[in-house]
Copies of this chain bind each other. A is one copy, B any other.
Amino acid sequence: MTATEEKRADTEVQAAGESVQPKPEQPNPGQPATMTMTLIQAVNEGMRGELRRDPRVLVFGEDVGARGGVFLATAGLQAEFGERRVFDTPLSEGAIVGAAVGMAVRGLRPIAEIQFADYIGPGFDQLTSQAAKLRYRSGGQFTCPLVIRTPSGGGVKGGHHHSQSPEAYYCHTPGLKVVMPSTPYDALGLLRAAVRGEDPVMFFEPKRLYRAAKGEVPTADYVVELGRAAVRQQGSDISLIGYGGVMPDLQKAAEALAAEGVSAEVIDLRSLVPWDRETVMASAAKTGRVVLVSEAPRIGNFMGEVASSIQEEVFDSLLAPVLQVAGFDTPYPYVQDRIYLPGAGRILNAAVKVLNY
């Protein structure tokens, strides 16, 4: 290629690039300061806002267009932004994840939906071989900022292919970031941070909280930085740490403990990779008693890393072993859906064990 050609090529791309630059988020003076919404509304709002703000953002996946997604997370988006920006794909998770990688390399900001976390499997190689490693393997020459959104977790009596919590697979894949909000506030803030960030992010949405989790959300633009846990309740006697769908159970267990005069600190990790070691260690060091809660099968779940790290780091402060409450090491069952899930009772039991140690 001659120098002139090179110049021309660059200019063309830049021109194309310019036409798709993000606009700064505009404050809207007429708006109230907060709005009440459910977790799924927050996800929907998050995508809508990013689609408005940044023409590089595209939303796609199976049935996300006219259908609005099987949970309606993308409802109304195609109507507002058209089929070029919000579209259905063929039924192939490999194609969906892989396409997101290629788009991101060419400067777009894809948000891809995988219909259920249980169906990432066919896209696993794209995630682990392409998305996770592109920046590293190219020495930073190529990057793929993208978001894979997917409903995960149990409690909807969906059997094992509509209930699994596979986040540990992706936490164990360096190069991917992994988050799981449990509140509308976090869902919106983390989604914005993920879309605006420069890395591939697995965005797990605890489906049983889609409508159950309701809350106030600022109307002004904000982000929730990846890697920061939320202390949901301060406490001094014991730390209950979880993320995703189990959070309401942690809160319930904390209330039951409060009724017995026990002051529990409740921490929502929100972000798994990276995870907030500082907040967790401070809490563990303070209370000396920790219960970790996750609904994923116990062996190899993400809390293994947290437990291992806590005892490595604040061993001397521990007054009792760090206990895990987790899913069972079985495929996710159907009829015993509720027995499988941790639940407040099981958390409370673990807490009592730790307290009486």
Copy tally for this chain in the complex stands at 2
| A270 sits at the interface (CB 8 A) | no
Within 8 A of B (CB), among A316-340: 318, 320-324, 328-331
Confirm or deny: A297 has a beta carbon within 8 angstroms of a beta carbon on chain B: yes
Indicate whether A214 reaches chain B with its CB closer than 8 angstroms: no
Interface window among A3-11, A50-58, A204-212, A305-313? A305-313
Bound-state CA distance A136–B302 (Å) is 24
Nearest chain B CB to A269 CB, angstrom units: 13
Residues of chain B within 8 A of A357, CB atoms compared: 315
Whether B297 lies near A330 (C-beta < 8 A) is no
Cα A319 to Cα B56 with chains together (Å): 55
A299-B305, A304-B305, A311-B322 in contact; A174/B330 too (CB < 8 A)? yes
Residue among A174, A303, A328 with most chain B CB within 10 A: A174
Given contacts A320-B315, A321-B315, contact A174 B305 (CB under 8 A): no
Find out whether the CB atom of A308 lies under 8 angstroms from the CB atom of B303: yes
Q: How many residues of A contact B (CB 8 A)?
A: 48
- B residues in contact with A118, CB < 8 Å: 129
Provide the residues of chain B in CB contact with A175, threshold 8 Å: 330-331
Which B residue sits closest to A135, measured CB to CB? B331
On whether the beta carbons of A308 and B304 are closer than 8 Å, the reply is: yes
A232 at the interface (CB under 8 A from B): no
What is the CA–CA distance of A171 and B291 in the complex, to the nearest angstrom?
Answer: 23
Is A217 interfacial (CB 8 A cutoff)? no
Contacts of A330 in B (CB 8 A): 136, 174-175
Contact A171 B299 (CB under 8 A): yes
Chain A positions 126-169 with a Cβ under 8 Å from a chain B Cβ: 128-129, 132-133, 136-137, 160-161, 168-169
Residues of B within 8 A of A128 (CB): 121
Task: With CB as the reference atom, state the residue of chain B lying closest to A312.
Answer: B321
A304 to B174, CA, bound (A): 16
18 example contacts (A-B, Cβ-Cβ < 8 A) are as follows A121-B128, A122-B124, A129-B161, A133-B160, A136-B160, A136-B330, A137-B331, A169-B169, A171-B299, A172-B300, A175-B330, A298-B305, A299-B305, A304-B304, A307-B311, A312-B321, A315-B321, A315-B357
Known: A168-B168, A174-B331, A175-B331. 17 other contacts (CB 8 A): A121-B129, A124-B125, A136-B330, A137-B331, A169-B300, A172-B301, A173-B297, A174-B329, A273-B299, A304-B304, A304-B305, A304-B308, A307-B308, A307-B312, A311-B311, A311-B321, A312-B323
6 smallest CB-CB distances across A and B, nearest first, come from A121-B125, A304-B304, A172-B300, A307-B308, A124-B124, A315-B321
